[in-house]
Amino acid sequence: MAGGDEAALFVCPGCGKVYEAGAEGLGVFPAFTAEATTELAVSGPIRHLAVWRLLPASLGDRDPVWEHIVRVAAPATAYLYVPAFSLARAVVQRIGVRLTEVQPVLELTLGAPAGPGPRPALVEAPSAVQSSGTAVLDAPDFEAVSPVLIGRREAWGLAHFIYMAIEARELRESRPVDYRLEPGSEELLFVPAVWDPRYIHESNWRLLLREFDGLVA
């Protein structure tokens, strides 16, 4: 099973099952794979990034930021998203904030991706030009399916960090931070993506979802 020493959950690339360590050993943990909905051509190998989709039990009363996110997601349910495939703060914040703000409409199938994904490479992506003052991260060292480095408990802790980053961007005036993010339910998703250094706002990942088709640096 894929994962390594730092893994919080383990992915079987053969059967597409995800396993979580517990008091009685490894148990199967439900996971879902999001289908690619992009309407743009895809170049390069498709990878699947582990992401937690969190449904808070409560976020306090009349929080304007959360109310905005709920309106974006309507009529569907609003979620907080926490990337689980990286421990780098920049990656977790950028992709977590983007997914939570956009609230993509996902087409899910049960199970993690099994085996290598398709490679619909039409053309090679042009060399990326680094924007002034913005670092281009190194390419990932995993193949078709990312490791799951962040567990459920850690994901709820990082959800506070992501939510506060959104709040800092959305609010035009400073005000005391006063919200209560109470943990609720969580789902583990694998989101299709390709490595493309032009997408600096997503830490060089192009998420293959229609909501991200126009977000090129």
Is 123 inside a domain boundary?
A: no
Q: Is residue 38 part of a domain?
A: yes
117 pLDDT band, cuts 50/70/90, is very low
Q: Is residue 3 part of a domain?
A: no
What φ, ψ does residue 123 adopt, rounded to 5°?
Answer: -145, 160
Q: Name the residue type at position 39.
A: E
Tell me, yes or no, if the pTM score tops 0.95.
Answer: no
Q: Could you give the 3-state DSSP secondary structure of residue 154?
A: helix
pLDDT in tens, 56-113: 887 666 778 888 899 999 999 999 999 999 999 999 999 999 999 999 999 999 999 8
Residue 124 lies in a domain: no
CA-closest candidate to residue 190, choices 129, 101, 115, 93: 115
> Could you give the number of structural domains in the chain?
1
Q: Is residue 2 part of a domain?
A: no
Q: Is 217 domain-assigned?
A: no
Q: Identify whether 109 is part of a domain.
A: yes
For residue range 4-61, what is the model confidence (pLDDT) as tens digits?
Answer: 567 899 998 778 889 988 777 788 999 999 999 999 989 888 999 999 999 988 766 6
The domain of 37 spans 9-118+131-212
Q: Kindly state whether residue 126 falls inside one of the protein's structural domains.
A: no
* Tens of pLDDT, residues 155-177: 999 999 999 898 887 665 555 55
